Every structure is written in structure tokens, then in C-alpha cells.
């Protein structure tokens, strides 16, 4: 039996934003990194933009599609890289959900971005420690990763805010 699947405007928006996030994710994977695993997370700019424009559910779809499709495109699906990326995405989504549902009145774009960035890197560190490098020496990276999460959270919030301002003026 053939099933008629209706594609909604919401589906189109999610797919469009996910495609943009995937493209940024793939491009960013080619950037050199001074410390293994530290990247600016530029695709998260799209997730933040979607969160503040369309809500948490949209942002969750975009983020999870980015991780899954990005890993398929780069040939890392079900590899350690995939699990590190997925753990970071899930942790940042969880932190965004808490801030979005409980504390939205008190926390703006900057707070969400920093919290998501720190949650992302800390989840990756814990998964790396738990699954791949079960040695306490890896925890020495904690201050470096937290600093990176804060700095890139600020950087991504500034870019997201700039894009949001331009979109608001245009629309």
C-alpha cells in the first residue's frame, strides 16, 4: 500500500535550517584545531537562531539532523567522533531545554549560548573519559574545555544576535 505523506511548511523549515547547519558543520570539520576536539561550533549558530525564532522542538530537530547527516556525509557515523558529537549535541539541547522552559525570562541568547557551549564540551569530555580514555589524566583538559565553551558561546551568541537583528530589519 502506498502511503500519502504530507510535507508541511514546518518540515520544510526544519530541513532548510538543518541543511544549512550540516553545510557549516562539514566546512568547519576542515578547520585546523590547536587542541584536539576544540572547534568554534559554528553550526550551533543555526541551532540558536532556530531556538529563538521557532522554539526548542525545531532546534532539537535541526541539531540532531545535523549530527546524524553530518556524520553520514563525513563517514564518521557510529564512530567515536559521532558519539562525541551526539553527546555534545544532546547535552547542549538538554541545557537549552531547561533554560528555554524554566528560565527563559531571566536568560537571554548569551546565557543560552554559553551554557550550551559548556554543556557540549563537558559532555564530550565525560564520554571520551567513560568510553575511550578511561584515565583521570584526561580531566586535566577540563579548564581548557570550559574556557573554550565560554569563549565560543560568546562568539556564537554575537554572530547569532547579528543575524537575528538583520533578519528582523529585513522582515
Map out the domains of the chain with their CATH numbers: 9-170 (1.10.1760.20)
Asked whether residue 3 carries a pLDDT value surpassing 80, the answer given is no
Q: What pLDDT sits at residue 76?
A: 92
Q: What pLDDT sits at residue 13?
A: 94
Q: What pLDDT sits at residue 1?
A: 59
- 47-85 residue pLDDT tens: 999 999 999 999 999 999 999 999 999 999 999 989 999
Q: How is residue 171 annotated by DSSP?
A: -
Using CA atoms, how far apart are residues 3 and 18, in angstroms rounded to an integer?
Answer: 25
Q: How is residue 136 annotated by DSSP?
A: G
Nearest Cα to Cα of residue 71 among 58, 59, 89: 89
- Whether pTM > 0.75 for this model: the answer is yes
Burial track 30-64 (b if 16+ CB lie within 10 A, e otherwise):
eeeeeeebbbbbbbbbbbbbbbbebebebbbbbbb
Amino acid at each position: 500500500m502506498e502511503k500519502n505523506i504530507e510535507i508541511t511548511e514546518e518540515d520544510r523549515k526544519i530541513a532548510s535550517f538543518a541543511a544549512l547547519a550540516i553545510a557549516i558543520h562539514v566546512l568547519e570539520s576542515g578547520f585546523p584545531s590547536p587542541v584536539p576536539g576544540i572547534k568554534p561550533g559554528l553550526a550551533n549558530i543555526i541551532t540558536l537562531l532556530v531556538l529563538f525564532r521557532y522554539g526548542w522542538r525545531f532546534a532539537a530537530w535541526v541539531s540532531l539532523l545535523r549530527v546524524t547527516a553530518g556524520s553520514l556525509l563525513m563517514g564518521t557515523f557510529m564512530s567515536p567522533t559521532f558519539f562525541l558529537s551526539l553527546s555534545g549535541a544532546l547535552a547542549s539541547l538538554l541545557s537549552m531545554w531547561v533554560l528555554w522552559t524554566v528560565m527563559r525570562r531571566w536568560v537571554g541568547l548569551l546565557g543560552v549560548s554559553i551554557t550550551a557551549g559548556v554543556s557540549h564540551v563537558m559532555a564530550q569530555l565525560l564520554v571520551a573519559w567513560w568510553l575511550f580514555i578511561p584515565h583521570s589524566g584526561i580531566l586535566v583538559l577540563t579548564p581548557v574545555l570550559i574556557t573554550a565553551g565560554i569563549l565560543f558561546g560568546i562568539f556564537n551568541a554575537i554572530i547569532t544576535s547579528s543575524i537575528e537583528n538583520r533578519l528582523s530589519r529585513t522582515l
